[in-house]
């Protein structure tokens, strides 16, 4: 009982930052992202009656016990739902830095959910799969689809109305996302811990909730109009507000480093010179610069001059989950993109 799935990371333009239910991973606000072509995870899950426990290999190495435990806890939910009691071997390759703010948890859990549910014999709709991915890592539910995706927070306590919905094919609104690496090491405060601390202790959190809701509506409007200026402006404001909440947490923390600020500064400089660019930052020091595809070369050249910049990965909107055998389960809106 074996299956292999490939899932891409996504970058949130309106961030998910906070849970109302930790166990089911139900968010306090809806979020919106674009799936990226460049970064992805490929995961194979093999349920085997000979196994006496789960094993998890990440990037060719046996994962630390803590990580194996996380994967095993996730597989327990899949086993429980399927009514199957077999243990599994899980082999995962991250074609993205792990735990450095490049959303490895999103591609990781989207690939794990797709491979494990298929291997165990569940035949899920993309919506159901997005709910399965969500209980592994919230942002993973958006990676089931390609292009622009909304995670609708839902209201119900059982999570049955909290899932991702594809909004727009990436080809219908092509943008470029330059992933600018200033530090690839693993962050000290994982997203899970960081958002929990913020929800519980930051006096700025209420302000975040109010503005995130408004900004989501504005962002969807920008997508409808294919208005890049609006998209970038709102994404940048939303990222700044998310990071502001962490400064009010107790103990306070900040994902930015001096290199992060250098890139933010450079983006502002580009704008003042008439080159349209905006930044967004997830839970880590690295920066994603949003620009028009026609400006990629010019903007990359300028950002390379920033002393803290180690590497720039140009990305575009990418596809949703695919299986290695070529059966495409999602992306009703992204058929042309599915093999990317």
Residues of the shown chain interacting with ligand DP6 in the complex, contacts defined by CB under 6 A:
12, 15-17, 25, 31, 103, 105, 137-139, 191-192, 282-283
Query: Which of 28, 30, 44, 94 lies at the binding interface for ligand ADP (CB under 6 A)?
Result: 94
Does 116 contact ligand ADP by CB under 6 A? no
CB 283, min distance to ligand DP6, A: 4
* CB-nearest residue to ligand ADP: 108
Q: Report the alpha-carbon distance of residue 45 to residue 82 in Å, rounded.
A: 15
Q: Which is nearer to ligand ADP, 43 or 333 (CB)?
A: 43
Q: Which two tokens stand for residue 85?
A: 């009691």
31 binds, among ligand ADP, ligand DP6, none (CB under 5 to 8 A by kind): ligand DP6
Site for ligand ADP in 187-226 (CB under 6 A): 190-191
- Across the chain, the runs of DSSP E, i.e. the strands, are 2-14, 19-21, 26-27, 31-48, 55-58, 61-62, 87-95, 148-152, 163-168, 176-181, 277-280, 287-291, 311-315, 322-323
Query: Which of 38, 67, 89, 218 lies at the binding interface for ligand ADP (CB under 6 A)?
Result: 67
What's the burial of 267, exposed, middle or buried (CB within 10 Å: 0-12/13-18/19+)?
Answer: buried
Total residues belonging to the chain:
340
- Residues that bind ligand ADP (rule: CB under 6 A) add up to a total of 23
Degrees, nearest 5: CA angle 137-143-148: 130
| Helix H or strand E encompassing 224 | helix 205-225
Query: Which of 10, 30, 35, 105 lies at the binding interface for ligand ADP (CB under 6 A)?
Result: 105
Binding site for ligand ADP (CB under 6 A): 41, 58, 67, 70-71, 92, 94, 98-106, 108, 112, 190-191, 282-284
């Amino acid at each position: 009982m074996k299956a292999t799935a490939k899932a891409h990371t996504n970058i949130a333009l309106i961030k998910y930052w906070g849970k109302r239910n930790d166990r089911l991973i139900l968010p306090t606000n809806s979020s919106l992202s674009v799936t990226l072509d460049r970064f992805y995870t490929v995961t194979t899950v093999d349920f085997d009656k000979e196994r006496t426990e789960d094993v998890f290999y990440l990037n060719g190495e046996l994962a630390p016990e803590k990580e194996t435990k996380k994967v095993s806890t996730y597989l327990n939910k899949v086993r429980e739902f399927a009514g199957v009691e077999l243990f599994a071997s899980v082999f995962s390759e991250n074609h993205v830095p792990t735990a450095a703010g490049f959303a490895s948890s999103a591609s990781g859990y989207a690939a794990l959910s797709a491979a494990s549910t298929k291997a165990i014999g569940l035949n899920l709709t993309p919506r159901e799969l997005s709910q399965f991915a969500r209980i592994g890592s919230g942002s993973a539910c958006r990676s089931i689809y390609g292009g622009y995706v909304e995670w609708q927070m839902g209201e119900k306590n059982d999570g049955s109305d909290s899932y991702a919905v594809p909004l727009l094919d990436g080809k219908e609104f092509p943008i470029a996302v330059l992933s600018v690496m200033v530090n690839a090491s693993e962050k000290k405060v994982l997203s899970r811990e960081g958002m929990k601390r913020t929800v519980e202790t930051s006096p700025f959190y209420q302000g975040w909730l109010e503005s995130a809701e408004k900004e989501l509506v504005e962002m969807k409007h920008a997508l409808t109009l294919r208005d890049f200026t609006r998209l970038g402006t709102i994404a940048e404001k939303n990222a700044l507000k998310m990071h502001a909440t962490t400064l009010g947490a107790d103990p306070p923390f900040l994902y930015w480093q001096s290199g992060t600020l250098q890139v933010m500064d450079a983006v502002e400089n580009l704008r003042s010179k008439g080159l349209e660019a905006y930044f967004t930052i997830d839970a880590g020091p690295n920066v994603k610069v949003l620009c028009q595809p026609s400006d990629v070369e010019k903007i990359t050249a300028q950002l390379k001059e920033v002393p803290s910049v180690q590497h720039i990965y140009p990305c575009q909107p990418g596809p949703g989950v695919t299986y290695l055998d070529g059966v495409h389960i999602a992306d009703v809106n992204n058929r042309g993109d599915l093999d990317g």
